[in-house]
Structure 1
């Protein structure tokens, strides 16, 4: 199995089992050990490779243990501290890692709850673990761009020099991406002022701040939608043109206008970037049968509907992304009965391309 496929398979397992895992020991057995063995490729039952409950007395601290130490050529290379899957990871969780990092040969330390893995090194000061991770990898929401970096930590590809040389860039690029995403979801006052003062020449009063808080949030959503649409246009333009049939009685629908209208609605419904990305994937698949502008969407409180011709009697698919733990792709049979399929990542939508195109063909 390819490295990326192994990661996705573990991500799917985590999504399916996360609700049933409550303790730290259960997290180790269900999530952490499979990551060490099936992803990183180390034998968890070979004490020459993986040492559980690793002990290295530090100063007056005696008998403290780190959960796992990964060994290479009889030297510690990676230290791993585990927390329960429902625990949030914080610097307070990493106190033992700090102490152990400086008294072993390890250059890599990992703090994990089995779902999110935070990897640390010593960029700021030699032999002293940094306070911020250089790599954060979430198995419930896999970032494809980080897969090669995780692979460098595996037994067959372990390359400490390469890891350390790219760690600083990864550390700050990752932190910046997370901060930008947070600002796009919920712009802070500082971000609103920073953007607004570049387009508004008046005095930045409280009323102006409140007005631009809404406008900046709306502009951010529309910007992201435009970026996704541009990527789709490039992808479609690079592909082979497929003959498309369209009954003359049907009216073309401007999906861009529909998307903008949905994003601008002042309701309790929140259209997320992930839903829009999923929509664009379904749309790209459906374009093998119909023109892109005929594939539209409508958001609802409980699901995100993808329709043909903006007609709710012609459902193509539904995205059930409201749960933080498990996402579902809803597909319809000939009688328009919906079946929900669990997916671990947006890329898995492509596995259902035949069903999506079949749904479109039934309407045309």
Structure 2
């Protein structure tokens, strides 16, 4: 995926250059503008990406947001940038004001490394306090990249993004809550599980006892799940390697001799009266040399057995198995011309 490679290249660039970037302006030019370009917007087109976009708020005139991305002459994303060294927590209130004034549906707060996307799920035209999408560009996961691609110019659909934003927002919050509970479970969390397994009254002593038990049980469960998946992956890889080894060993035991190839040429010379040469194929095995119609195992024309002290040609009749005939040399294959041509007729009549 092209956007995935572009994001990876930008992440590598950020890691390499960030210690040389000292100002907010440098952060914008080195980190943020390339990100906007990756989303497919032309940063050199003033009708598409407007720097220092005016977002007047009531009596306050001249308020400007760092960038506004336009589509069909309407702002679709406003972007507030900070120096890459700054903590973003202290700056969302400023973006909150711009959001209301600009009438956009999406706002982005970034320091070029951390990105926080906001919308108005809780109240129309009022930016939510918490972002629905948040990521560090240097540690992107595939699931996050998938969400970023929805903001690409070629994919951008306001309704689809907003509809998905609710799921993203609450999933993020739930994951955070689960992580917190696993590290330091609350009284209510412990009580919930204690009531399910403890037969008596859940007293303070029981809660104290179950605090350690619940923590251990969750950690062990997660560890076992991870180990199960790792073992499954390792077993699958081991099985594949063993299959590859077996296949290589089996192939290495099969040696197609010149005599077998000569027998194939004889059969081709007989059957080409009724068949194009390209429809006649052979497959060599450890026990016999098979000649097939259309390279199909279910359509054997004959089998040549030359790997023992006696030599045979195996012929096939309609709805019957192989019938072997002793031959002194492969030249005697010509004597079975009629049977071979009749076998072709069986398959062709089907």
> Would you say same fold, with TM above 0.5?
yes
Return the index of the structure with the highest Cα Rg: 2
Is 1:124 aligned to 2:122, yes or no?
yes
Question: Post-superposition shift, 1:22?
Answer: 4.9
Deviation string 1:290-317 (CA, Å, 9 cap, x unpaired) is xxxxxxxxxxxxxxxxxxxxxxxxxxxx
2:33 aligns with: 33
Unaligned runs of 5+ in 2: 244-350
Name which of 155, 158, 170 aligns with 1:157: 155
Question: Post-superposition shift, 1:167?
Answer: 1.4
Report SS of the residue matched to 1:182.
helix
Deviation string 1:25-53 (CA, Å, 9 cap, x unpaired) is 3332332222111x312222221221111
Q: Aligned in 2, Cα 1:128/1:236: closer, same or farther, shift over 3 Å?
A: same
- Which stretch shifts more, 117-126 or 225-234? 225-234
1:6 aligns with: 6
Distance in 2 separating the partners of 1:123 and 1:150: 19
2:242 aligns with: 243
Report SS of the residue matched to 1:86.
coil
Q: Which has the higher contact order (CA 8 A, sep 6+)?
A: 1
- Over the aligned positions, Cα root-mean-square deviation in angstroms equals 2.7
Question: Post-superposition shift, 1:210?
Answer: 5.0
Higher-helix-fraction structure: 2
Question: Post-superposition shift, 1:69?
Answer: 0.6
- Which stretch shifts more, 172-181 or 19-28? 19-28
Question: Post-superposition shift, 1:201?
Answer: 4.6
Deviation string 1:264-314 (CA, Å, 9 cap, x unpaired) is xxxxxxxxxxxxxxxxxxxxxxxxxxxxxxxxxxxxxxxxxxxxxxxxxxx
Distance in 2 separating the partners of 1:41 and 1:97: 23
Report SS of the residue matched to 2:154.
helix
Q: Aligned in 2, Cα 1:167/1:238: closer, same or farther, shift over 3 Å?
A: same
Matches within 5 A, 1:164-179: 164-179=162-177
Q: Aligned in 2, Cα 1:159/1:198: closer, same or farther, shift over 3 Å?
A: same
Distance in 1 separating the partners of 2:176 and 2:9: 25
Question: Post-superposition shift, 1:80?
Answer: 0.8
Distance in 2 separating the partners of 1:107 and 1:66: 15
Shift >6 Å, 4+ stretches: none
Question: Post-superposition shift, 1:110?
Answer: 1.0
Distance in 1 separating the partners of 2:73 and 2:240: 58
Name which of 166, 189, 192 aligns with 1:191: 189
Deviation string 1:308-359 (CA, Å, 9 cap, x unpaired) is xxxxxxxxxxxxxxxxxxxxxxxxxxxxxxxxxxxxxxxxxxxxxxxxxxxx
Question: Post-superposition shift, 1:79?
Answer: 0.5
Report SS of the residue matched to 1:100.
helix
2:58 aligns with: 59
